[in-house]
Amino acid sequence: EDQVTQSPEALRLQEGESSSLNCSYTVSGLRGLFWYRQDPGKGPEFLFTLYSAGEEKEKERLKATLTKKESFLHITAPKPEDSATYLCAVNTPLVFGKGTRLSVIA
Amino acid sequence: DSGVTQTPKHLITATGQRVTLRCSPRSGDLSVYWYQQSLDQGLQFLIQYYNGEERAKGNILERFSAQQFPDLHSELNLSSLELGDSALYFCASSLGASGQHTQYFGPGTRLTVL
């Protein structure tokens, strides 16, 4: 059974303070690892798909990396508008972690 | 905007009732998924359809059923509703059915059972 664990549960950063979110996964075979951003009461918004260890993808202040056991979402110089819950999921149907609630304070 | 639409946005109903949630996938996507999100459980997969056929089932209760129509839109039917069914219900769609295809989510339907 696929499993995903995200840490920390919540993270509070000052504007401009870079950090990383962790996603550990256990799967019998990885077909895809997905990062989503979710604002309260909204649907998850797709950010990245990673397929194999060593792969990296970037978008604005976000960079996602993948190893054989975990993925990191690095946030560089975050702004208040980056505040959201970040969800990690694997395979299809998606198995989600519980998310990291990020708050960026101005 | 992901291109996935869901109606209605909000639904308030009473215990024992039956409701239908509707989803239209992104243009060109053949696969539709339904997920339930509650505060304590996070996002849980319910059921997947691909090109009109049921493809995978998750933790979907027997009181719940779904179908995908020839025009590829999908409906999730929830019956004999209980207080615990109150949650956000999301539909997602993808081009194909495999784990390599990215799923795009709709805005969700918030169901409140009183």
Q: Tell me whether B104 touches chain A (CB under 8 Å).
A: yes
Distance (Å, rounded) from C-alpha B102 to C-alpha B98? 9
- Order of strands, sheet of A56-59, starting from the edge strand that comes earlier in the sequence: A3-7, A19-26, A70-75, A62-66, A56-59
Distance (Å, rounded) from C-alpha B31 to C-alpha A104? 36
Percentage with pLDDT > 70 across chain A: 100
Cβ atoms of residues B43 and B35 within 8 Å: yes
Distance (Å, rounded) from C-alpha B68 to C-alpha A30? 27
Q: Per residue in A53-93, pLDDT tens?
A: 999 999 999 999 999 999 999 999 999 999 999 999 998 88
Size of chain B, expressed as the number of residues it contains:
114
Burial of B32 (0-12, 13-18, 19+ CB in 10 A): buried
Measure CB to CB from residue B108 to each of A43, A51, A87 and give the nearest one: A43
Q: Which residues of A touch B107 (CB under 8 A)?
A: 42-43
The bridge status of strand B10-13 relative to strand B109-113 is: parallel
Q: Per residue in B49-101, pLDDT tens?
A: 999 999 999 989 999 999 999 999 999 999 999 999 999 999 999 998 887 78
Nearest one of A79, A7, A52, A15 to B99, comparing CA atoms: A52
Q: What is the CATH number of the domain that holds A16?
A: 2.60.40.10
B84: helix, strand or coil: helix
Nearest one of A30, A91, A67 to B99, comparing CA atoms: A91
Which domain range does residue A99 map to?
3-105
Which amino acid, A5? T
Q: Per residue in B71-85, pLDDT tens?
A: 999 999 999 999 999
Q: Which residues of A touch B92 (CB under 8 A)?
A: 94
Q: Which residues of B touch A93 (CB under 8 A)?
A: 33, 45, 48, 56, 58
Res B41: pLDDT: 80
Give yes or no for a cis peptide into A93 (omega within 30° of 0). Answer: yes
Nearest one of A96, A100, A98 to A75, comparing CA atoms: A100
Measure CB to CB from residue B33 to each of A93, A98, A99 and give the nearest one: A93
Q: Which residues of B touch A44 (CB under 8 A)?
A: 43, 90, 105
Rg (CA), chain A: 13
Query: How many other CB atoms sit within 10 Å of the CB of residue B59?
Result: 11
A68: helix, strand or coil: coil
Residues B15-42 have a mean pLDDT of 95
If one counts the domains in chain A, the total is 1
Which amino acid, B11? L
Cβ atoms of residues A104 and A82 within 8 Å: yes
